[in-house]
Structure 1
């Protein structure tokens, strides 16, 4: 393979269809072409009796996937283009397909797994983390909102842990990913090659027990009391107020982290999470996320956030509006407005064939 095809390697090894994200210098960040190639591999293997299990992993030593191609989104948003909306449309369809895939879909969530990387892994049926795993939805730091089904996953986390992770963008390790329902099993990183070899000759249910272990201790459980109390507030302003007044140093740090992020993104994220809890299946939440993501393209904070964090790297974004109190209910509602004939519509059901492609 050559050119763009090299960015995703798809091969059958024994009983396993293996997908390798292959942009290690970019921490395997997803491009539109990569989404197409993952989808094509899943389509080819879905009805292939020789393929019993799908395994997705990332090339290099740093992680599975750091997210979407942020620089590409930046250029598209600056130019008023529609490439990002087209990318998200296919990416969210892929997320839904992974969730409905009829064969075991094993995600090796070793190293960094963020944003779009969560989308191609945490909707799988077998999600494996290691002592190196760092999993996050850090979108509010670039003026964006958790997507790829992230608001669905975080809304399902115990108590207010998902709200905390969404607003602060905090990266969690293996134990906390398991606690939050973002992963299923812990396997030591050095055993992943052996696990992959075993999956090529035996079924997942036969293989896993010999590899699964206990994750190193996490951090969130010890803080859940103040996390649940503070993040249960009705507004972002009240959440910050409770965090600052809780007396816990970690809560104060969470408030300070939030106050450095896009005020608009924080308010839209809280609204999206609360709405996701009542929407039902993943597909309905992805449809909502598509509206929010498309609205973000024409809002000032996404371009400014990427500029400050990724392009110029001055780490001093100038948000518009600059404070939480300046972000009105109408500002937030605009992100959820119907898109008319541009809506993303995903069918739901128990069969992946019911998801339109």
Structure 2
């Protein structure tokens, strides 16, 4: 059955195939991946073999030439398994589109086929130890030296930082530029480049299966041909792509909310207290009625945004609203659902416990929710 208005029979079949694949290849192993703190590259390879990596890439480079609607399905089904699979969405819908949009023909031929097979696993390196949302103030430099850029700096909180072997690195090619954002460029840096090293894998509160690491660049000589797009245009490229990135984050949070509602409904119907199911208590009914309403509102809003995004509309304000409201709502829902699970909600063997610790970071990455509110206010004429 179609989930969205825009879905065709092909979408429904695609979702069914993916769900069956994940039920067999991901769900039984996910708990172990959480303990291992990483998803094996072999699973990435299987995704590639099935056509679930970068299906939007043109057929000329080995892709299926599909649109973002298929990325929506992949993102939702991955999130249903667990938030630790978010690195797949980052690869498919956030990093690879930079290469598609701003890469030259040689760069596309060099990297896109590998992105589809998982021979290339990508990450984006924006955040630094001293710089998060204020991208224009990054300190990592890339100074031109003949046919190379010499890169120096450090990046942190990098999703796919362990498994990744191609990183889109945000650098300052002109540290003296005024305003500061005009000095920003994007470089593609491959694992194995002299002077590029990966630091420790970071120990996070949640999303344990998602490998997150620090990256270091010390006199790292990156070939000038790895510059993505034009020098000094990096900031505008980032701004152009943030709409889809934030839409992806909102989609994941919405899926998590739907998952929490479903698991909590099942629990309160089967769990008894004082001789009857806790689902029959008025407080439980009111709480779940409120949660179900919020879930439906989020889904309806997202559906309209997906349709607008697929139509190529500029919907930065509404996407900022969705990213802020749906991630905040998911965090509230996680607390309510954990409470309804009672003591069992605090046990790792119950999925709600994992949801509770996985969700808060969605309010932080891809631009904090405070930044989302600033964008909304500015676009209302208040800034």
TM-score range, shorter chain: 0.3 to 0.5
Give 1 or 2: higher helix fraction.
2
* TM-score (normalised: structure 2): 0.32
Kindly name which structure, 1 or 2, has the bigger radius of gyration based on alpha carbons: 2
Looking at both structures, which has the greater relative contact order when contacts are Cα pairs under 8 Å and sequence separation is at least 6?
Answer: 1
* TM-score (normalised: structure 1): 0.33
Give 1 or 2: higher strand fraction.
2
